[in-house]
Structure formats: structure tokens, C-alpha cells
Structure 1
């Protein structure tokens, strides 16, 4: 499974499966559209490393559980209170 590298504003790099990255319509457009990112590397200058790390975790969580037939079996996705606003902004930008 091919991987994509997401690069935060503080130049931290996060590897994620291409399939998990495609959960985000914004990332999907960046990876497939006319502005294809070079070699599967996507720079996200508006998102700090700690927020991008949690966002990557959510994209993987979403991919894993979105087709789960029994919603009661899905574990809760933990969001640190101190990071909630930044995660909301990142989620809005990535459309997830």
C-alpha cells in the first residue's frame, strides 16, 4: 500500500497510507488533481506538528471504522481539550 508524507508547518513529517489520506477530500484533491503534490509529499503550512499528528491518527481511525456495521463497537476518538480548537481548524481545512 503506497504511503503519503504529510509535512507540518514546523517541518515534521508524518507517513500515512494513501487510502487513509484519501479520507480527506482536500488531500485527495492535492494528490490527484492538476496540482499533484510531488512524490506523495504534501506540505500543510497551516497545521503544526502536534495537531497534524492527531489529524493523521483521526484519518487512520476514520478509515478503519467508517464501514463498521455496528456503531456501538466503535471506540471513542479521544481529543485533548487543549488541542480542540486547532483540531477543529485543521479538520475544517481538510474537510473531515
Structure 2
């Protein structure tokens, strides 16, 4: 439900190939770029639409990013965090996406 500022509990992240992912705003906000895009004080269109389009991230990579956003949300207060599996063929693209998104990722990942 949108508040008077237009903020909703969920936001939509869209890949360059048109895949849409609805994620909790609280999970998405670990990305500095997404957080700034959705901040109503910055007057970006994304803040009004609650929708961020990433022309340089494909659907497969954005899906894994969203998976991590929820993984991080689930384990943010845990002391013993299990490893997250990341397919080796996605590693480079995920690193580039994380850099672009200015994400504050903890590295609890294994490459298999």
C-alpha cells in the first residue's frame, strides 16, 4: 500500500531483457544505487514508480541478485551464515552487477 510519499513495501526491479522481480524495499535497500534511486528526496522517476530498470543487467543475473537480497535479509542478524551457492559462469557478471549497484554485500558465497 503506497504511503503519502509514494513509497511501497515492495519495489520492482527490471532487467534489460524485461524480466521483472518484485522484492521487499528493505531487502533492495542494501544496494546503495537502488536506495538512492528510490529515495523520494532525490526526485528520481524510480521513487515515484517504485520501479528500477537496469539496462545493463540481464534477467539471469538480476534473478541471482534478488536471491542474494533475500538471502542477506534472512541472515542479516545470524552469527553462523551458510554459504550461498553461485554458479561459476555467473561470477564475473555478478561482480559487475554488485559494483554497479554499489551493493553492500557480505561474501558468504561458494562457487561450485
- TM-score normalised over the length of structure 1: 0.90
| Alpha-carbon distance in 2 for matches of 1:2, 1:36 | 17
Residue number in structure 2 paired with 1:27: 34
Give 1:47 deviation, angstroms: 0.2
Residues 12-91 of structure 1 mapped to structure 2, 5 A cutoff: 12-32=19-39, 33-37=42-46, 38-68=48-78, 70=79, 72=80, 74-91=81-98
Secondary structure of the structure 2 residue equivalent to 1:78: strand
Q: Where in structure 1 are there 5+ consecutive unaligned residues?
A: none
Secondary structure of the structure 1 residue equivalent to 2:94: helix
- TM-score normalised over the length of structure 2: 0.78
Residue number in structure 2 paired with 1:6: 13
How many residue pairs end up in the alignment?
93
Give 1:34 deviation, angstroms: 2.5
Higher relative contact order (CA 8 A, sep 6+): 1
Larger Rg: 2
Give 1:36 deviation, angstroms: 4.1
- The structure carrying a bigger helix percent of its residues is 1
Q: Where in structure 2 are there 5+ consecutive unaligned residues?
A: 1-7, 104-112
- When the two chains are superposed, the root-mean-square deviation of aligned CA atoms in Å is 1.3
Moved over 3 A (4+): none
